[in-house]
Amino acid sequence: MKKFDIIIIGGGHNGLVAASYLSKKNKKVLVIEKNENVGGLAEYANNLNCISPIITKELNINAANTNNTNHIISLEDHQNHTVLEDNNGKLSFIKTNADEHDQKNFLSIINNYKIFSKTLGSFMFKKPPRVKSGNKADILQLISMGWKVRKLGKKNMRELLRVIGLNIADDLEDNLSNNNLMGLLSHEAVLGTNLGPRSPGSILTLLYKQAINNNVFNFKNIEVADYINQLEESCNKNSVEIIKSTEVKKILTQDNSVTGVQLNNEEIFESTCVISNSDPKTTYLNLLGAEILDTDFIRRTKNFRSKGNVAKLELVFENDININGVANNMYGKFIYAPNIKYIEHAFNANKYNKYSENPCLEFYVNKNILSANVYYVPYLANSNHQENEIIKKCISILSKFITDMKISKEKLITPNAMEVKYNVAGGHWHHGDLEIDQLLMMRPFYGSAQYSTPINGLYLCSAGTHPGGGLTGINGINAAKKVIGDLK
């Protein structure tokens, strides 16, 4: 029976960040990964905008910045696409059917959101304070959060408080008239959430994303695979033991404290500290077992909203792909969400656990390969998706913009498939919706915030914790710091 200082369940990027950090503090760390490769859901990430300076500093990661000028192309049925250029965060229109007034307003909305997201971002990367703990540090942080909001100035603070619970459609319709532009921004707000453009809180999700990515649109500035490789190397260098293709069956406990983990092959590793990089639901209900958790806590675990609704589509064409009406040198991120109504209709199906008849798409083109995020394709608890039907619908949308489609290979990964492969309950990107009641000190839920759990020595570091998904690595590093703090 082997003993470790710390065992990390799941070699997703947050697990690797935590492992790397802890091993640098001279801890004997074991990472157990279910799949053949580490990285977890990061495999599906089309884009990684920036790595937090905290990660680069603490772990010496230096992922190459591809640093291209990026384009965002919002497709439109009549081929009047809008093309935006993003030059290090500076946006400009290259082509659009919107009038000048709309163009100006569009950019000013984004700028306004940027101010708010910066305020949010300033407490994004810290350990969220615990309300009513009586702890001095928590109180100070709460005060500083309030102060940062107040520092926006009277006008901006009021505006932030006005929009924070608002739906994105209302705010856009107040300021814009061009459908394509409204669709584009609504898309950024609702992708990966269980919200439609008219759902309250959809501005908050946009601000949150903006805060995580440093930008309203996220691109591929950094190669995800390269980043994961560096993380793995950093772990190896610090002699973290990584076991792959091995699944954890149970977290072992005694008297409300962790004693180790049991693998599927019955092997047991001992440790008084376990960090779970699995999502909160899987961690509590499957790995730990509901039998040893309080009923109220189980209620909250079950009520944690974690229904994924984005599918990943990979199409391989026989020839290089040409998008009608877009010059080759402008290729970047393509979005098909032509107007608010279209997205809202697509969202309707999601409410009833059906996939959208007319889904929205976000895709990237690389020579003859097209990889797309398709939504809404909700996770189905008791049945399976008709994958061929969904692929057909996507192809029929794409055929509006790509003439002469000869597809040699097609593959759809639904939230159900993600759940099976990565043990993420609900197949949700962020392990749980990023909504106001599941954020900050309320993430994932009361009794489990600040990376801790009701079980002594068990911690969470997955996207289910603050600040959520989006490949920040902050979850991993914050959890690791919490562990070090508690071990002292």
Partner 1 sequence: MNSSEISYKKPLLETPFHKRTSENCYSNNWYRWAGYKVVNEYSSIELEYTAVRNTAGVFDITPMHKYDIKGEDAKKFINKLITKDISNIQSNQVAYGIWCNEDGMVIDDGTIFCFNENHFRIFCAERNLNWFSDTATGFKVIIEDISTSIAALAFQGPLSCKILNLLKVNNIENLKPFHFDNYNIENHNVTISRTGFSGDLGYEIWCDPSQAIDVWDSLFKFNRDYKVLAAGMNALEMVRIEAGFIQPNVDFMSAEQALRPNRMRNPYELGLGWLVNLEKKYFTGKQALIRHKEKGLEKKLVGLDVEGDKPAVGSVLYDNSKKNQAKEIGIVTAAMWSPVLKSNIAIGFVNKEHYKLGSNVYAEIYHPEELDYRKIWAECKVVKRQFFNNPRRNAVPAFK
Residues found near partner 1 in the complex (CB under 8 A): 256, 285, 289-292, 294-299, 302, 447, 454
**Least distance in angstroms from the C-beta of 294 to partner 1:** 4
10 Å Cβ neighbour count for 133? 13
10 Å Cβ neighbour count for 435? 20
Of 256 and 399, the one with the shorter C-beta distance to partner 1 is 256
**Least distance in angstroms from the C-beta of 458 to partner 1:** 14
H-state helical runs in 223-287: 224-237, 280-281
Of 133 and 396, the one with the shorter C-beta distance to partner 1 is 133
**Least distance in angstroms from the C-beta of 430 to partner 1:** 24
Residue 374: name the closest of 352, 396, 402, 401 by CA. Answer: 396
Of 119 and 301, the one with the shorter C-beta distance to partner 1 is 301
Sheet with 333-336, strands from edge to edge, namely 90-95, 82-87, 70-74, 333-336, 360-366, 369-375, 311-317, 407-413
Strands (E) located in 37-185: 70-74, 82-87, 90-95
DSSP code of residue 126:
S
How far apart, in Å, do the first and last CA atoms of the chain sit?
26
3-class DSSP state for residue 144?
helix
**Least distance in angstroms from the C-beta of 445 to partner 1:** 12
DSSP code of residue 248:
E
**Least distance in angstroms from the C-beta of 447 to partner 1:** 7
Q: Which amino acid is at 420?
A: V
Residue that is written with structure tokens 């984004």 in the block: 110
Of 135 and 256, the one with the shorter C-beta distance to partner 1 is 256
Of 246 and 259, the one with the shorter C-beta distance to partner 1 is 259
* Rounded CA separation 444/301 (Å): 8
> Which residues lie below 8 Å from residue 131, measured CB to CB, with a gap of 6+?
138, 142, 441
How far apart, in Å, are the Cα atoms of 112 and each of 90, 165, 200? Answer: 14, 16, 19
DSSP string, 411-438: EEE-HHHHHHHH--GGG-TTSS---GGG
* Rounded CA separation 271/5 (Å): 6
What is the maximum alpha-carbon separation in the chain? 70
How far apart, in Å, are the Cα atoms of 172 and each of 180, 184, 346? Answer: 11, 11, 19
Of 94 and 290, the one with the shorter C-beta distance to partner 1 is 290
Strands 369-375 and 360-366 turn out to be: antiparallel
* Rounded CA separation 114/216 (Å): 8
Of 99 and 294, the one with the shorter C-beta distance to partner 1 is 294
**Least distance in angstroms from the C-beta of 351 to partner 1:** 24
Q: Which amino acid is at 177?
A: S
**Least distance in angstroms from the C-beta of 40 to partner 1:** 26
**Least distance in angstroms from the C-beta of 300 to partner 1:** 10
Of 64 and 292, the one with the shorter C-beta distance to partner 1 is 292
Q: How far is CA 78 from the centre of its chain?
A: 32
**Least distance in angstroms from the C-beta of 268 to partner 1:** 20
Of 165 and 289, the one with the shorter C-beta distance to partner 1 is 289
Tell me the chain's radius of gyration from C-alpha atoms. Answer: 22
Q: Is residue 110 packed enough to be buried (19+ CB in 10 Å), middle (13-18) or exposed (0-12)? A: buried
Of 107 and 285, the one with the shorter C-beta distance to partner 1 is 285
Of 254 and 403, the one with the shorter C-beta distance to partner 1 is 254
Element spanning 315, H or E = strand 311-317
**Least distance in angstroms from the C-beta of 383 to partner 1:** 22
Of 237 and 299, the one with the shorter C-beta distance to partner 1 is 299
**Least distance in angstroms from the C-beta of 295 to partner 1:** 4
**Least distance in angstroms from the C-beta of 431 to partner 1:** 19
